[in-house]
A and B are shown apart, each in its own frame.
Chain A
Amino acid sequence: MSQAILERLKERYEDGVVETATERGDDCAVLKREILVDVCRFLKDDADFAMNLFVDVTAVDWLDRRTPRFDVVFQLKSITKRHRVTLKVRVDDGDDAWVPSVTGVWRGADWFERELWDMFGVRVDGHPNLRRILMWDGFEGHPLRKDYPVAGRQPLVPLRKSEVHVFENNPVDPFVVGLGVVREKSDGDA
């Protein structure tokens, strides 16, 4: 069914639709940022499409492989019509890393957009409360960006050094039985 959505969008927004693709029944439209909110409102309000469920917004980071760097991906679904569509907006790094908020269309997009900001550092313009949602205040960087260091840890409490050794008189051979292993700490905890 939903290929009709792509046709309709192309007809209605012409140049605003950069690209469309259909893969095994899943339809996707790449949009210009300017028309995103308008398209969303149209897809929600139009009786034929009735996209009444905002499923998710996330991003794909194409670091060093493509400019603009990010695809911001919106997943929409219609509960009543039982169809769905994917919308994408391409944004670049730095000042260009922003999308308009769709919280005005679906209130439920709020936390997803905060997650988008938190994980990818894509700002959401017009969001009522754009704070981190999963990581804590004071966390540096955005962990799902491809240039976030793989071993980048930002602990909130000082980490103990743990020097672990297997406790000598353990009557159970942990390697034979494979169950609980008792170990002692060298810091006086034994």
Chain B
Amino acid sequence: MGLNNGESSGAGLLEGSVMVTRLDEVTKPGGAQGIINWGRRWSIFQYPFVTACCGMEYMSWMCSHYDPGRFGAEAPRFSPRQADVMFVVGTISHKQAPVLKRVYDQMCEPKWVIAFGACASSGGFYDNYATVQGVDCIVPVDVYIPGCPPRPEAVLDAVMLLQEKIDREGPERWARREAASK
């Protein structure tokens, strides 16, 4: 998959599904980050915020044919408190924006957002009084998936890219996030 544990984390090697490392690598400051990231990126629990036609493609992607279980992402959580990634799937209206924001705020850190499809990414062709022009106007977005609707392959690609992003994260993320939320 090319998703091995990069040198930056310095915590060891990924062999198959086993992490090989040394105790002193893990216990030194920041040393466990590689293992933490490894765990996080293979257990992406999603909160599906599904509002429109993209939902059809989302369902297709969620089923066995495309099998997100290969990426540890097959478990949807319908409580934001148990979710790691919010999938915003479909058109978001201004009337709905407070709900989206609230769900996002209820998710525990670490959390990520995927904007699924043209509407969630940019408003799509709904450039009008009702529609939010991309959910990044409301919550920070990590991965944008183009398409109206996207192919399931594009969603898999997005999940893999999110995994790479998770893998590069260090403790400084939280400091920056905290600063940004003030």
Show the binding face of A for B, using Cβ within 8 Å: 134-136, 143, 148, 152-157, 159-160, 162, 164, 167, 169-172, 177-183, 185, 187-190
Q: How close is B141's CB to chain A, nearest CB, in angstroms?
A: 8
9 pairs of A and B residues whose beta carbons are closest in the complex: A188-B176, A180-B158, A188-B180, A180-B157, A179-B157, A162-B136, A189-B140, A143-B129, A179-B154
A-B contact pairs, 23 of them (CB 8 A): A134-B130, A135-B95, A135-B130, A148-B129, A154-B94, A154-B129, A160-B138, A169-B168, A171-B164, A172-B157, A172-B161, A179-B154, A180-B145, A180-B158, A180-B161, A183-B141, A183-B143, A183-B144, A185-B140, A188-B177, A188-B179, A189-B177, A189-B180
Q: How close is A190's CB to chain B, nearest CB, in angstroms?
A: 7
* Neighbouring A residues of B151 by C-beta, 8 Å: 179
Q: How close is A19's CB to chain B, nearest CB, in angstroms?
A: 33
* Dominant secondary structure of chain A at its interface with chain B: loop
Q: How close is A181's CB to chain B, nearest CB, in angstroms?
A: 5
Q: Given A162-B137, A190-B173, list of 20 further CB < 8 A pairs?
A: A143-B130, A154-B94, A155-B132, A155-B137, A156-B97, A156-B98, A157-B101, A162-B140, A170-B161, A171-B2, A171-B164, A179-B145, A179-B151, A180-B155, A180-B160, A182-B162, A183-B141, A188-B177, A188-B180, A189-B140
* Neighbouring B residues of A162 by C-beta, 8 Å: 134, 136-137, 140-141
Chain B residue at minimum C-beta to C-beta distance from A163: B136
* Neighbouring A residues of B97 by C-beta, 8 Å: 155-157
* Neighbouring A residues of B145 by C-beta, 8 Å: 179-181
Question: Within the assembled complex, what's the spacing in Å between the Cα atoms of A59 and B92?
Answer: 26
* Neighbouring B residues of A190 by C-beta, 8 Å: 165, 173, 176
* Neighbouring A residues of B160 by C-beta, 8 Å: 180
* Neighbouring B residues of A159 by C-beta, 8 Å: 137-138
* Neighbouring B residues of A164 by C-beta, 8 Å: 136
Asked if B146 is an interface residue, CB under 8 A from chain A, the answer is yes
Asked if B24 is an interface residue, CB under 8 A from chain A, the answer is no
Of B2, B151, B159, B161, most buried by chain A (CB within 10 Å of CB) is B161
Of the candidates A156, A170, A181, A187, the one whose C-beta lies within 8 Å of that of B180 is A187
* Neighbouring A residues of B132 by C-beta, 8 Å: 155
Chain B residue at minimum C-beta to C-beta distance from A177: B157
Q: How close is A151's CB to chain B, nearest CB, in angstroms?
A: 9
Question: Within the assembled complex, what's the spacing in Å between the Cα atoms of A160 and B135?
Answer: 10
Are the CB atoms of B138 and A136 closer together than 8 Å?
A: no
Q: How close is A47's CB to chain B, nearest CB, in angstroms?
A: 43
Q: How close is B15's CB to chain A, nearest CB, in angstroms?
A: 21
Asked if B153 is an interface residue, CB under 8 A from chain A, the answer is yes
Question: Within the assembled complex, what's the spacing in Å between the Cα atoms of A14 and B3?
Answer: 80
Are the CB atoms of B136 and A182 closer together than 8 Å?
A: no
Chain A residue at minimum C-beta to C-beta distance from B151: A179
Are the CB atoms of A182 and B94 closer together than 8 Å?
A: no
